[in-house]
Every structure is written in structure tokens, then in C-alpha cells.
């Protein structure tokens, strides 16, 4: 099996997946779903469009991460993989929790419970208190600090990678290829997602608490494992099957989204019949996989060749990911006094967030320590073929030559199970970490 040839489409897939985060999190400021800061004039009409990516965008990232981490493990072995991922994931996570995330927590307290701010209510007093730990509560809603907010992805990916590398190192039996028809790759991955949605989610809703988050571990762990297996003979047939079925997958994903949007609109103020609620949960799982699979199929079709610009964009997205949410939160508060029409304000926040993150990337990459702390890979690692460069937290990977090329918090999820919606969209607090908000 070829473990050094690049797969150009993964650069495009990774860049597109991370690029979705900025407009999505800007949208979280305006919809009725809970988030760190909220617009004074919410626009629920955006929610069907938010639902277009809410069920699957993080799952796509875990799938791609599994692919990348298997490549790293195959080249460098167990201990080197553990060292690498600890350096590339935990350092940005800890730095982010100490420096990048605090503005989000500050403005959340300032806008929701300003009486809880320590000292004179300024940012430096809050930051000092934040670093020393504590809890801010408004009624039953509490925020523990320090917190990781949107950086929870790193906290989950680190143990997944360590466990995957350990299993790979201990495995002593040959892997035989699963010779499945295309339809099996379109349907079988839905099974663990649907079982998790039906049987785990009602009792263990999403929390983004690493220790107490069974639902997310089941769904994201399954997708990470599938991505890892797709680098081996076991599931190498996945990628060509998705490329061949890209049109049916796209159609199925769009049809599923339309049905989910209609469901949540119709049952916004009344409870659904129990059977329909279970059907919605199954459809949510199917939509999640079909959208991920369609993205993978179309990425192989559109990004067939190397592109220096795309490679540069792929190298920058991890830094953008670390910075973007704090930039969004600060920009919304800066623009709030201007009273701009919400559409114009949203466009300005999206454009300014991309611009600020791009400028930060250009500057931070010049400072080795800051580059490391913000996930910027300045040069290829020694011993890694130049055709297989590590970019930020991910490694560009290869397959066999046969290839063609929101999570709600625990409290809000539990309440949504009892609410008239029956099931609120899963990602109503897509970027919370270990608290239910204020």
C-alpha cells in the first residue's frame, strides 16, 4: 500500500470544512439557538440554512482526522505519533484555553450576567479570575472556567489518535479488504450514527465534556475510526465508491435536509408523534452521513491535481480554526453600538473575521513559539517525505493506488427532549465546551 503519495482532494476537503465554521458561528449570533453572545434582534429564518451543515460538519472533520492520523501512525510508529499529536493538539488547546478563549467567556458574562464580573468589571480583572478557575452561574445555567469552548475538537481528537495508534501498534493480524458494493458504503455507516441517535442521545445528550459525553464519543469516534480504516485494506473501497455515487449522495443529502427543516418548522411549537420523532432521529443520522459522503465524493472530483494555493490554504486553516470564534465574538460586540442592519452586520463580521485571521496567520507564522501554539506548521518534519507534509493538526495522506484520486449542552439537550420540538437541532450550542451557558 502506498503511504507517501499525496491526495490533493484532502486539502480542498479540509479547507472547505474549516471555512464553513466562520459563517456558521456568525449565524449562531443571530438565530434563536443558545450561544455565547446573542444579537438583540434574532432571526430564526436563518435556522433552516444553519441546519444545512449543523448535523455533519464536525463529523466530516473527525473522518478526515482519522484518515490523516492513520497516515502519521503508519509512517512514524506509536511513540512518535503520541509525541507529535500531544505537541500539535494539546499545546494549542492549552494556549487557546488560557489566551484565545477568555474573550468569549468575558463577553458572555458581560452580556448575560454582568453583576458576576470580578473587580471593576474590566477584562484584565476577569482574565485573572478566569485563569484561577471558578464558576459563573445565572440560575441553573453555569459556566466553569477555564473552558475550551470551540476548541473541544482538539480535546477529543487527542485521545482518539492515541487510542488509534495504540491499537494499530498492537494489531498483529492481516487486514482483508471488505469487498462491498457501492450501496453498502452509502448505507452501512449510517447504522452506528442512527443507533447513537435513537438509543444514546435521549439519555446521554451532547455536553462537550470529555468525560461525560457518550453520544458524541459514539458518533465522532465511529467516524474517526472509519476514516482511519479507509487508509487500510479493510475500507479502502470507501473513497472510490463515494466518488462514483457523488450525485445520488448530493440529492439524498439535500432531500434529507429539506425534510428535517420542514419537521423542525412544523413542530416548533407542538410535540411530534413519538413514531415521527424516532423517524426524525434516523433521518438526522442518514443526512449526516450522506452529506459527509457527498462532500468526500465531490472533493475527489473537483480537486484532482496539486494546487500551491490550495496547499497554502490548507496549511492556514488550523490557525483560523483556533482564532476564529474569539474574533467573531469580539467583532459582534464592537459593531453592536452601530445598530447596523443585521444582514450587513453579518457580512461585515464574516469578511472581517477572515481578514483578521489571515493577518494573524501571516504574522504568527514568523514567530516560531507563537506558530507552534496556534497550530501553524512552519516547515515539514524531518524524516517525512516532502510529498506528505503535516499541516497544522492534520497530515496530508494517501491511499492505495487503486483509488480514484450542533451540539447542545447537557441541560439544553435534556430540556429539548421534553420540549414541544421533540428534538431541537443537535448543534444549538455547537461551540460550547463543558458548561451549559449563562
Domain ranges of the chain: 8-101+147-418
Contact, 412 vs 426, CB < 8 A?
no
- Computed on alpha carbons and rounded to an integer, the radius of gyration of the chain in Å comes to 21
- Which whole-number Å values give the CA distances from 24 to 48, 58, 252, in the listed order? 12, 12, 22
| pLDDT above 90: residue 160 | yes
Tell me the longest C-alpha to C-alpha distance in the chain: 66
The pLDDT assigned to 433 comes to 46
The pLDDT assigned to 424 comes to 54
Tell me phi and psi for residue 143, to 5 degrees: -125, 120
Task: State the average pLDDT over residues 298-307.
Answer: 92
Tell me phi and psi for residue 153, to 5 degrees: -55, -40
* Grid cell at residue 327: 474574533
| pLDDT above 50: residue 406 | no
Which pTM was predicted?
0.88
Residue among 22, 203, 32, 36 at smallest CA distance from 109: 36
Reported confidence tier of residue 422, pLDDT bands at 50, 70, 90 = low
Mean residue pLDDT of the chain comes to: 88
pLDDT digit string, tens, across residues 327-362: 999 999 999 999 999 999 999 999 999 999 999 999
pLDDT digit string, tens, across residues 4-33: 456 789 899 999 999 999 999 999 999 999
Tell me phi and psi for residue 394, to 5 degrees: -110, 160
pLDDT digit string, tens, across residues 37-50: 999 988 989 999 99
Reported confidence tier of residue 382, pLDDT bands at 50, 70, 90 = very low
Q: What is the rounded distance in angstroms from the CA atom of residue 214 to the CA atom of residue 201?
A: 8
Q: What is the rounded distance in angstroms from the CA atom of residue 292 to the CA atom of residue 129?
A: 41
Q: What is the rounded distance in angstroms from the CA atom of residue 220 to the CA atom of residue 407?
A: 12
What percent of the chain has pLDDT above 90? Answer: 77
The pLDDT assigned to 384 comes to 41
Q: What is the rounded distance in angstroms from the CA atom of residue 214 to the CA atom of residue 207?
A: 9
Residue among 427, 325, 317, 315 at smallest CA distance from 97: 325
pLDDT digit string, tens, across residues 173-225: 888 889 999 999 999 999 999 999 999 999 999 999 999 999 999 999 999 99
Amino acid at each position: 500500500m502506498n503511504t507517501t503519495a499525496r491526495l490533493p482532494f484532502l486539502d480542498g476537503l479540509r479547507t472547505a470544512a474549516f471555512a464553513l465554521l466562520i459563517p456558521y458561528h456568525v449565524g449562531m449570533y443571530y438565530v434563536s439557538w443558545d450561544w455565547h453572545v446573542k444579537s438583540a434582534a434574532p432571526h430564526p429564518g436563518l435556522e433552516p440554512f444553519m441546519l444545512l451543515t449543523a448535523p455533519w460538519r464536525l463529523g466530516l472533520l473527525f473522518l478526515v482526522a482519522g484518515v490523516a492520523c492513520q497516515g502519521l501512525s503508519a509512517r512514524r510508529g506509536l511513540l512518535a505519533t503520541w509525541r507529535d499529536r500531544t505537541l500539535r493538539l494539546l499545546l494549542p488547546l492549552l494556549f487557546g484555553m488560557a489566551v484565545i478563549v477568555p474573550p468569549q467567556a468575558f463577553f458572555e458574562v458581560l452580556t448575560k450576567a454582568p453583576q458576576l464580573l470580578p473587580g471593576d468589571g474590566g477584562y484584565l480583572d476577569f482574565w485573572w479570575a478566569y485563569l484561577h478557575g471558578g464558576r459563573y452561574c445565572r440560575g441553573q445555567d453555569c459556566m466553569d472556567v477555564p473552558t475550551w469552548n470551540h476548541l473541544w475538537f482538539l480535546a477529543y481528537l487527542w485521545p482518539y489518535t492515541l487510542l488509534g495508534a495504540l491499537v494499530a501498534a498492537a494489531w498483529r493480524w492481516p487486514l482483508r479488504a471488505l469487498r462491498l458494493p457501492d450501496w453498502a458504503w452509502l448505507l452501512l455507516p449510517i447504522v452506528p450514527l442512527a443507533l447513537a441517535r435513537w438509543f444514546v442521545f435521549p439519555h446521554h445528550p451532547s455536553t462537550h465534556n470529555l468525560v461525560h459525553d457518550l453520544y458524541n464519543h459514539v458518533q465522532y469516534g465511529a467516524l474517526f475510526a472509519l476514516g482511519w480504516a479507509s487508509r487500510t485494506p479493510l475500507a479502502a473501497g470507501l473513497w472510490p465508491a463515494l466518488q462514483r455515487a457523488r450525485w445520488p449522495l448530493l440529492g439524498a443529502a439535500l432531500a434529507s435536509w429539506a425534510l428535517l427543516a420542514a419537521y423542525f418548522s412544523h413542530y416548533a411549537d407542538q410535540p411530534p408523534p413519538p413514531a415521527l420523532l424516532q423517524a426524525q432521529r434516523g433521518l438526522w443520522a442518514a443526512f449526516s452521513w450522506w452529506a459527509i459522503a457527498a462532500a468526500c465524493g465531490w472533493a475527489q472530483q473537483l480537486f484532482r491535481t496539486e494546487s500551491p494555493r490550495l496547499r497554502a490554504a490548507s496549511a492556514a486553516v488550523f490557525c483560523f480554526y483556533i482564532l476564529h470564534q474569539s474574533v467573531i465574538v469580539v467583532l459582534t460586540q464592537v459593531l453592536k453600538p452601530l445598530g447596523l442592519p443585521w444582514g450587513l452586520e453579518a457580512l461585515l463580521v464574516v469578511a472581517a473575521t477572515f481578514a483578521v485571521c489571515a493577518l494573524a496567520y501571516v504574522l504568527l507564522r514568523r514567530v516560531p513559539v507563537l506558530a507552534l501554539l496556534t497550530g501553524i506548521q512552519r516547515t515539514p518534519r524531518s524524516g517525512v517525505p516532502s510529498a506528505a507534509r503535516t499541516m497544522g493538526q492534520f497530515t496530508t495522506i494517501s491511499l492505495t493506488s487503486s483509488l480514484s484520486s450542533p451540539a447542545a449542552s447537557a441541560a439544553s439537550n435534556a430540556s429539548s427532549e421534553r420540549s414541544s420540538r421533540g428534538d431541537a437541532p443537535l448543534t444549538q450550542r455547537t461551540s460550547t465546551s463543558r458548561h451549559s451557558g449563562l
